[in-house]
A and B are shown apart, each in its own frame.
Chain A
Amino acid sequence: MFENLDALLLARVQFAFTVSFHFFFPAFSIGLASYLAVLEGLWLKTGKSVYLDLFKYWLKIFAIAFAMGVVSGIVMSYQFGTNWSVFSDKAGPVIGPLMAYEVLTAFFLEAGFLGVMLFGMNKVGKKLHFAATLMVALGTFVSAFWILSVNSWMQTPTGYEIGANGQFLPGPSWWDIVFNPSFPYRLVHTVMAAYLTTAFVVGAVGAWHLLKDRANPHARKMFSMAMWMAAIVTPAQIFAGDMHGLNTLEHQPAKVMAMEGHFQSHPEGAPLILFGIPDSEAKTVRYAIEIPKASSLILKHDLNAPLAGLDTIPDDEEPPVGVVFWSFRIMVGIGFAMLGIGLWSLWGRLRGTLYDMPWLHRAALLMGPSGFAAVLAGWITTEVGRQPFVIYGVLRTADAASPLDAPAVAASLLAFILVYFTVFGIGVWYILKLMGKAPHPGEYGVKRGDVGPIRTAGITPGPTQNPGGEDTLPTHASDEKEPV
Chain B
Amino acid sequence: MDLTVVWAFIIAFAVFAYVVMDGFDLGIGILFPTFKAGRERDRAMNSIAPVWDGNETWLVLGGGGLFAAFPLAYAVILPATYPLIIAMLLGLVFRGVAFEYRWRDPAHQAFWDRAFTGGSLVAALAQGMTLGALLQGIEVEGRAYAGSWWDWLTPYTLLTGLGTVAGYALLGSTWLIWKLDGEEQAHARKLAIRWGAATIVLMGAVSLYNITLNADYAARWLSAPEVYWVAPVPILTAIVALSMLRAILKDRNSKPFWLGIALFFLGMSGLGVTIWPYAVPESVTIWEAAAPYRSQAFMLVGVALTLPLIIAYTAWAYWVFRGKVADEGYH
- 0/1 per residue, B64-108, Cβ < 8 Å to A? 110111011011111100110110011011101101110111100
Do A85 and B144 contact each other (CB < 8 Å), given the known contacts A77-B63, A119-B330? Answer: yes
Those of A91-149 within 8 Å (CB) of chain B: 91-94, 96-97, 99-105, 107-116, 118-120, 122-124
Those of B281-331 within 8 Å (CB) of chain A: 291-292, 294-295, 298-299, 302-303, 306-307, 310, 313-314, 317, 320-321, 327-331
Q: Does B54 lie within 8 Å of A108, measured CB to CB?
A: yes
- 0/1 per residue, B38-66, Cβ < 8 Å to A? 11001101100111011011011101110
| Nearest CB of chain A from residue B149's CB, rounded to whole Å | 5
Q: Does A85 lie within 8 Å of B78, measured CB to CB?
A: yes
Q: Does B96 lie within 8 Å of A70, measured CB to CB?
A: yes
Q: Does B50 lie within 8 Å of A119, measured CB to CB?
A: yes
| Nearest CB of chain A from residue B57's CB, rounded to whole Å | 5
Q: Does A100 lie within 8 Å of B65, measured CB to CB?
A: yes
- 0/1 per residue, A138-174, Cβ < 8 Å to B? 0000000000000000000000000101010110101
Bound complex: CA of A456 vs CA of B36, how far in Å? Answer: 13
Do A81 and B63 contact each other (CB < 8 Å), given the known contacts A112-B310, A115-B321, A122-B331? Answer: yes
Q: Does B56 lie within 8 Å of A86, measured CB to CB?
A: no
Q: Does B71 lie within 8 Å of A101, measured CB to CB?
A: no
Q: Name B327's closest neighbour in chain A (CB-CB).
A: A452
Q: Does A93 lie within 8 Å of B61, measured CB to CB?
A: no
Bound complex: CA of A163 vs CA of B294, how far in Å? Answer: 13
Q: Does A116 lie within 8 Å of B59, measured CB to CB?
A: no
Q: Does A81 lie within 8 Å of B53, measured CB to CB?
A: no
Q: Is A478 an interface residue (CB 8 A)?
A: no
Q: Name A91's closest neighbour in chain B (CB-CB).
A: B71
Q: Does B83 lie within 8 Å of A470, measured CB to CB?
A: no
Q: Does B53 lie within 8 Å of A111, measured CB to CB?
A: yes
Give the bracket for the number of chain B residues in contact with chain A.
35 or more
Q: Does A89 lie within 8 Å of B72, measured CB to CB?
A: yes
Q: Does B42 lie within 8 Å of A450, measured CB to CB?
A: yes
| Nearest CB of chain B from residue A321's CB, rounded to whole Å | 33
Q: Is B145 an interface residue (CB 8 A)?
A: yes
Q: Does A450 lie within 8 Å of B317, measured CB to CB?
A: no
Do A85 and B145 contact each other (CB < 8 Å), given the known contacts A64-B100, A108-B306, A448-B42? Answer: yes
Q: Is B143 an interface residue (CB 8 A)?
A: yes
Q: Does B149 lie within 8 Å of A115, measured CB to CB?
A: no
Q: Does B86 lie within 8 Å of A67, measured CB to CB?
A: no
| Nearest CB of chain A from residue B165's CB, rounded to whole Å | 20
Q: Which of A186-194, A370-378, A398-406 lies on the face that meets chain B?
A: A398-406
Q: Is B146 an interface residue (CB 8 A)?
A: yes
Q: Is A63 an interface residue (CB 8 A)?
A: yes
Do A448 and B103 contact each other (CB < 8 Å), given the known contacts A74-B89, A103-B57? Answer: yes
Do A92 and B78 contact each other (CB < 8 Å), given the known contacts A71-B93, A99-B64, A163-B292? Answer: no
Q: Does A112 lie within 8 Å of B71, measured CB to CB?
A: no
Bound complex: CA of A165 vs CA of B75, how far in Å? Answer: 14
Quick one: which of A104, A420, A434, A449 contacts B329, CB cutoff 8 A? A449
Q: Does A403 lie within 8 Å of B144, measured CB to CB?
A: yes
Q: Which of A255-263, A299-307, A331-339, A423-431 lies on the face that meets chain B?
A: A423-431
Bound complex: CA of A109 vs CA of B313, how far in Å? Answer: 8
| Nearest CB of chain B from residue A445's CB, rounded to whole Å | 10
Chain B residues in 8 Å Cβ range of A94: 295
Q: Does A466 lie within 8 Å of B103, measured CB to CB?
A: yes
Q: Does B68 lie within 8 Å of A100, measured CB to CB?
A: yes
Do A71 and B79 contact each other (CB < 8 Å), given the known contacts A96-B64, A100-B302? Answer: no
Residue from B104, B292, B307, B321 whose CB has the most chain A CB atoms within 10 Å: B104
Q: Is A287 an interface residue (CB 8 A)?
A: no
| Nearest CB of chain A from residue B118's CB, rounded to whole Å | 12
Do A77 and B104 contact each other (CB < 8 Å), given the known contacts A120-B330, A403-B145, A448-B46? Answer: no
| Nearest CB of chain B from residue A469's CB, rounded to whole Å | 8
Those of A416-467 within 8 Å (CB) of chain B: 416, 419-420, 423, 426-427, 430, 433-434, 447-453, 456, 465-467
Those of A38-77 within 8 Å (CB) of chain B: 63-64, 67-68, 70-75, 77
Q: Does A114 lie within 8 Å of B75, measured CB to CB?
A: no
Do A408 and B317 contact each other (CB < 8 Å), given the known contacts A93-B292, A115-B49? Answer: no
Q: Is A80 an interface residue (CB 8 A)?
A: yes
Quick one: which of A86, A92, A450 contacts B327, CB cutoff 8 A? A450
Q: Is A88 an interface residue (CB 8 A)?
A: yes
Bound complex: CA of A9 vs CA of B274, how far in Å? Answer: 39
Q: Does A456 lie within 8 Å of B149, measured CB to CB?
A: no
Q: Is A415 an interface residue (CB 8 A)?
A: yes
Do A448 and B49 contact each other (CB < 8 Å), given the known contacts A64-B104, A111-B56? Answer: yes
| Nearest CB of chain A from residue B303's CB, rounded to whole Å | 7
Q: Does A108 lie within 8 Å of B295, measured CB to CB?
A: no
Chain A residues in 8 Å Cβ range of B39: 449-450, 452-453, 456
Q: Is A472 an interface residue (CB 8 A)?
A: yes
Q: Is A82 an interface residue (CB 8 A)?
A: yes
Do A75 and B104 contact each other (CB < 8 Å), given the known contacts A88-B74, A111-B56, A123-B320? Answer: no
Q: Does B291 lie within 8 Å of A92, measured CB to CB?
A: yes
Chain B residues in 8 Å Cβ range of A103: 57, 60-61, 64-65
Quick one: which of A86, A97, A124, A163 contacts B299, CB cutoff 8 A? A97
Bound complex: CA of A472 vs CA of B49, how far in Å? Answer: 13
Quick one: which of A92, A165, A404, A449 contacts B79, CB cutoff 8 A? A404
| Nearest CB of chain B from residue A401's CB, rounded to whole Å | 10
| Nearest CB of chain A from residue B122's CB, rounded to whole Å | 12
Do A67 and B83 contact each other (CB < 8 Å), given the known contacts A115-B321, A448-B46? Answer: no
| Nearest CB of chain A from residue B217's CB, rounded to whole Å | 25
Chain A residues in 8 Å Cβ range of B148: 405
Q: Is A312 an interface residue (CB 8 A)?
A: no
Those of A185-239 within 8 Å (CB) of chain B: none
Q: Does A451 lie within 8 Å of B78, measured CB to CB?
A: no
- 4 more A-B residue pairs beyond the given contacts A75-B93, A92-B68, with a C-beta to C-beta distance below 8 A: A96-B291, A122-B331, A419-B93, A470-B328
> Top 9 A-B pairs ranked by shortest CB distance?
A92-B71, A115-B50, A96-B68, A81-B78, A449-B42, A448-B329, A89-B75, A71-B96, A85-B75
List residues of A whose CB falls within 8 A of some B CB.
63-64, 67-68, 70-75, 77-78, 80-82, 85-86, 88-94, 96-97, 99-105, 107-116, 118-120, 122-124, 163, 165, 167, 169-170, 172, 174, 402-405, 408, 411-412, 415-416, 419-420, 423, 426-427, 430, 433-434, 447-453, 456, 465-467, 469-470, 472, 474
Complex A-B: 28 CB contacts under 8 Å: A68-B97, A71-B93, A75-B89, A77-B63, A81-B78, A81-B85, A82-B78, A85-B75, A88-B75, A89-B143, A92-B71, A93-B291, A96-B69, A97-B295, A97-B299, A100-B65, A103-B64, A104-B303, A104-B310, A112-B54, A113-B313, A403-B146, A419-B94, A423-B94, A427-B101, A449-B329, A450-B42, A465-B104
